[in-house]
């Protein structure tokens, strides 16, 4: 990939994604195979006036080895220096830029029950730190191809050609055009227009129907908005785009209020393994039954991770004719595949969607009806013939999707 194009991508990530402010610290989280892109991002951060940029490197191979070889006790131990790092992050609130390049099969061979046990031990310790900084800082997730990921998406190509092909797809779906910043300004305006339309109705519940077996209702909380594209930080009101790319309008539904069955339309990559051809049945808001052709036990582990893991934290609307879906590529990566189709997410909800959320404590927002969990896992249910209808509290029936696409 041409360095000039990657420079544009790095500039987009820093200015439109994280919107790094003058004097602000930045943290970049990336795998060791992304040195070139990371360096370009660091350069752009300093051009934007960043105070200091920290890079936290990771490795799929090392992670796999650690989880297979180290004991649960060793992997669950959180030393004081890690807690001090969390305190420092909460004090300085750096922008965080996540570069997603992991192999979809990165943790293949790792005992998933072991991973679940580690999470159950460490999550309660780290959760208070994460709750404290919730909605207060800018963050963005972006994609960059690794050899393993590219070969997963394009197995018929040589590694070099596969990486080039995946780069082309990532940059196209992230709108890296001649002027990507302007392209994102226009895209955000379009998404904002759609979310405003959805917010003009006071939906009581949504009904989903598809010929693949999806027949599902999910209820909405009063006073909770639909959002799309960029969002603002709490307090200092800085606008940023947490996902590049994004095509969704989304909200958080009422915890414990969902009924029916949803059928997946794309594989789900979770904990470094794939779950394929699955369905989930909800009763009283909880996932009470799951079936999968591949990865069923992993799916069961996922929804039993904690009390909120079996309930929904997000409802997202994405047209079947989205730019990402129209590439015809299955990315095996949630950042991209979730923006190719309507999806739901099990786990953690977006508390900042309640009107005047700044006036409430985190616990008050959870008590209001937002789901709380250590996970937030998006899975795709959008199909070519999906119909979604909104039913308002004052009796209106509003077509939202017809035959997989927007009805407005």
- What's the mean per-residue pLDDT of the chain? 95
pTM greater than 0.75 (yes/no): yes
pLDDT tens for each residue of 269-289? 888 788 999 999 999 999 999
| Count of beta carbons in the 10 Å neighbourhood of residue 31 | 23
| Count of beta carbons in the 10 Å neighbourhood of residue 56 | 11
Q: Could you tell me which CATH class the domain 3-173 is placed in?
A: alpha beta
Mean pLDDT across the stretch 337-345? 93
Are the C-beta atoms of residues 168 and 137 closer than 8 Å to each other? no
What letters, b where the CB count within 10 A reaches 16 and e where it falls short, cover 121-140? ebeeeeeeeeeebeeebbbb
Between the CA of residue 288 and those of 56, 113, 280, 382, what are the distances in Å?
38, 19, 8, 21
Degrees (nearest 5) of the Cα angle 348, 350, 171?
95
Please compute Rg for the chain using Cα positions: 21
Task: Kindly give the pairing relationship between strand 253-263 and strand 215-220.
Answer: antiparallel
Judged by phi (left if over 0) then psi (alpha if -120 to 50, else beta), residue 161 lies in: alpha
pLDDT tens for each residue of 9-66? 999 999 999 999 999 999 999 999 999 999 999 999 999 999 999 999 999 999 999 9
- Within 13 A of 6's CA, how many CA atoms are on the CB side? 18
Say which residue the tokens 């250590």 belong to.
374
| Cα separation, 287 vs 310, whole angstroms | 5
- In this prediction, residue 66 carries a pLDDT of 96
Confidence at 221, pLDDT banded by 50, 70, 90: very high
pLDDT tens for each residue of 87-122? 999 999 999 999 999 999 898 889 988 998 998 899
pLDDT at 172 over 90: yes
Domain residue spans in the chain? 3-173, 199-229+242-406
pLDDT at 263 over 80: yes
- In this prediction, residue 270 carries a pLDDT of 87
Judged by phi (left if over 0) then psi (alpha if -120 to 50, else beta), residue 332 lies in: left
Phi, psi of 55 (to 5 degrees): -115, 125
CA nearest to 408, candidates 345, 319, 341: 319
Both tokens of 321, joined, read 């004719």
Between the CA of residue 22 and those of 54, 95, 219, 402, what are the distances in Å?
16, 11, 42, 45
Residue 320, preceding peptide bond in cis (omega within 30° of 0): no
Residue scoring higher pLDDT (137 or 131): 137
- In this prediction, residue 112 carries a pLDDT of 85
Phi, psi of 237 (to 5 degrees): 60, 50
DSSP secondary structure letter of residue 357: G
Are the C-beta atoms of residues 145 and 334 closer than 8 Å to each other? no
- In this prediction, residue 269 carries a pLDDT of 85
């Amino acid at each position: 990939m041409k360095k000039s194009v990657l420079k544009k991508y790095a500039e987009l990530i820093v200015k439109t994604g994280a919107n790094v402010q003058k004097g602000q610290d930045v943290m970049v989280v990336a795998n060791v195979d992304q040195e070139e892109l990371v360096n370009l991002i660091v350069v752009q951060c300093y051009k934007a006036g960043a105070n200091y940029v920290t890079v936290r490197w990771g490795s799929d191979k090392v992670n796999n080895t650690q989880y297979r070889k180290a004991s649960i006790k060793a992997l669950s131990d959180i030393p004081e220096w890690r807690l001090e790092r969390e305190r420092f992050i909460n004090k300085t609130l750096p922008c965080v830029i996540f570069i997603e390049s992991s192999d979809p099969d990165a943790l293949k061979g790792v005992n998933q029950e072991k991973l679940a046990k580690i999470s159950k031990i460490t999550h309660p310790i780290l959760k208070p730190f994460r709750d404290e900084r919730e909605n207060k800082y800018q963050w963005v997730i972006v994609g960059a191809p690794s050899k393993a990921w590219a070969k997963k998406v394009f197995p018929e190509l040589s590694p070099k050609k596969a990486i080039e092909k995946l780069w082309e797809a990532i940059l196209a779906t992230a709108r890296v055009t001649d002027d990507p910043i302007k392209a994102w300004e226009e895209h955000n305006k379009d998404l904002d227009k759609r979310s405003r339309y959805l917010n003009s109705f006071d939906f009581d519940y949504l009904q989903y129907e598809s010929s693949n077996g999806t027949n599902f209702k999910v209820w909405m909380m009063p006073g909770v908005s639909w959002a799309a594209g960029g969002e603002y930080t709490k307090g200092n009101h800085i606008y940023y785009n947490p996902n590049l790319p994004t095509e969704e309008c989304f909200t958080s539904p009422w915890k414990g209020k969902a009924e029916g069955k949803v059928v997946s339309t794309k594989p789900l990559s979770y904990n470094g393994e794939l779950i394929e051809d699955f369905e989930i049945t909800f009763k009283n808001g909880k996932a009470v039954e799951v079936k999968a052709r591949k990865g069923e036990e992993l799916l069961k582990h996922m929804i039993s991770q904690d009390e909120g893991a079996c309930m929904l934290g997000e409802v997202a609307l994405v047209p079947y004719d989205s730019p990402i879906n129209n590439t015809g590529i299955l990315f095996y990566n949630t950042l991209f595949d979730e923006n190719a189709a309507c999806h739901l997410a099990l786990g953690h909800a977006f508390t900042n969607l309640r009107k005047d959320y700044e006036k409430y404590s985190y616990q008050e927002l959870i008590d209001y009806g937002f789901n709380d969990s250590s996970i937030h896992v998006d899975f795709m249910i959008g199909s070519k013939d999906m119909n979604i209808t909104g039913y308002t509290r004052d009796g209106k029936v509003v077509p939202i999707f017809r035959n997989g696409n927007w009805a407005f």
